[in-house]
A and B are shown apart, each in its own frame.
Chain A
């Protein structure tokens, strides 16, 4: 059972299977489409909220960056979602029903107005026209922003994929933290350092959330936590956490130096991307090996006896 000389974190579990074949189907979603969609959604959501607050508190430079990043990331995430469909020309079928039991239906109904609003607000920002309408639309997008940051965690958790489903309590906070660091990262990368104080604080809040959520997620689900800690996925998540922490430290050191601040921003963005790709692949790993299905379900059955 042991694979490629990896260090076993727990003793290999004994279980029976049908020729070791997978019981579950691996998610049909493609890489990089769907991990990119998760990352961009969080970046767009946090940026829209940040732009709305920058607007209200009179920080035009941060408002501008937030609005443009939100619009760009939102439209790119729509693009990634449509590209991943088996029949992209039927994208609008997503909007033929409203289904609260389907996180993808709920998500489509959030993403559609959000991407429309952010695109309009960005157009207003660039042309300088209709500033009052832009402020209103920006506030609406800012209110939807936090939902954009976290609904994608439900999208993953609401599956039979063991590593995703079992982590349904932690994933929303992990994605919330990742969204905050990504939003902060974009601002740190683009804004003058003397205006970056809110982004630095946002990044630290996000870093704390992300580290806390992943610490719980990687330890509390027995064998189902294993894909988050081991193999290529484990390494990717470690690198992501390292980049996020580096972003937090560098942003503090870069209060006066633009380039240090920009490196901090890039580290945050790269860390957020690593986290999404890692979480996505942990799900695939857990669907591929029948042990992640059989062992926890057997434990449940034996426990209830």
Chain B
């Protein structure tokens, strides 16, 4: 599905949530660089998260999860008083290998760039909204004030100038790493091995596997708990995987209609 120019490797993000400090610099840098409008002041009552999730006006979103955990006592056993741990994670468009938004777009406004990323051409989008329910991650959204669909472009304009995306540039802990996808995957494997060695047994990579339901993500993550805890689907599948079967069923149903109408007209006249 992705035809890569031999000279342009596929670029992406590796977001290592284990070093995210929840500063939201990525959210701010993204808004500033891409001139993404504000949704207005909104207090959600969900920890430090007041944006809630990705959408037309939020292309980076930092999740805050407060989890009760046992605190190890001096002897190192886990019977101590109840403690709390923070999970923080900066979410972004996954730039899927098999991107449903791109598949279902009827105008060709969504396209795959030379970097293997998925971008909306705003001068072509007619706001049909089909990409919105097609995305298995709930990323892309129609901006009601504008009518068109918007999402992360992986800073397509910056990439052309040899710059890294604004969020990665602003991230103070390198939780967001930008680079060639192959290299990021190697780096992520190493980091995961280190964390598992250190006893972080729930650490896992999300979207790294090229054989998953979306053919692997161009933007993948290291998580410290199950994906749904961060608001991510545990096993997303590109809807168009079943499209040939859908057309077949619709074809048989259409023939059934034709046969039904024909049979109705063949019978007695009154």
Give residues in A with beta carbon < 8 Å to B.
15-19, 21-29, 45-46, 49-50, 53-54, 57, 59, 84-88, 90-91, 93-94, 96-97, 99, 101-105, 108, 145-147, 149-151, 153-154, 157-161, 164-165, 168-169, 172-173, 175-176, 179-180, 183, 194-195, 197-199, 201-202, 205-206, 209, 283, 287, 290, 293-294, 297-298, 300-301
Contact = CB atoms under 8 A, between A and B. Distances in A.
Given A87-B125, A146-B257, A53 B265 contact: yes
Given A17-B231, A205-B263, A205-B264, A157 B138 contact: no
A149 B138 contact: no
11 contacts: A15-B228, A53-B262, A90-B126, A94-B107, A145-B257, A173-B256, A175-B253, A197-B270, A206-B260, A300-B235, A301-B235
Contact of B133 (A26, A45, A84, A179): A26
Nearest to B229: A16
A84 B108 contact: no
Q: Is the interface of A mostly helix, strand, loop or mixed?
A: helix
A85 B126 contact: yes
A4 to B, nearest CB: 22
B243 A101 contact: yes
A208 B125 CA distance: 41
A87 B52 contact: no
Contact of B253 (A85, A150, A297): A150
Contact of B242 (A26, A146, A165): A165
Contacts of B265: 50, 53-54, 57, 59, 198
Contacts of B133: 24-28, 159-161, 164, 283, 287
B216 interface: no
Contact of A153 (B134, B235, B253): B253
A294 B257 contact: no
A96 B148 contact: no
A93 to B, nearest CB: 4
Nearest to B265: A53
Task: Give the bracket for the number of chain B residues in contact with chain A.
Answer: 35 or more
Contact of B240 (A21, A158, A206, A301): A158
Interface centre among A19, A53, A101, A164 (most CB of B within 10 A): A19
Contact of A99 (B105, B135, B232, B234): B105
Contacts of A293: 228, 233
Nearest to B240: A101
Interface centre among B228, B232, B269 (most CB of A within 10 A): B228
Contacts of B65: 18
Contacts of A183: 261
Contacts of B231: 17-19, 21, 23, 290
B217 interface: no
A80 to B, nearest CB: 13
A287 B245 CA distance: 22
Contact of B245 (A16, A93, A168): A168
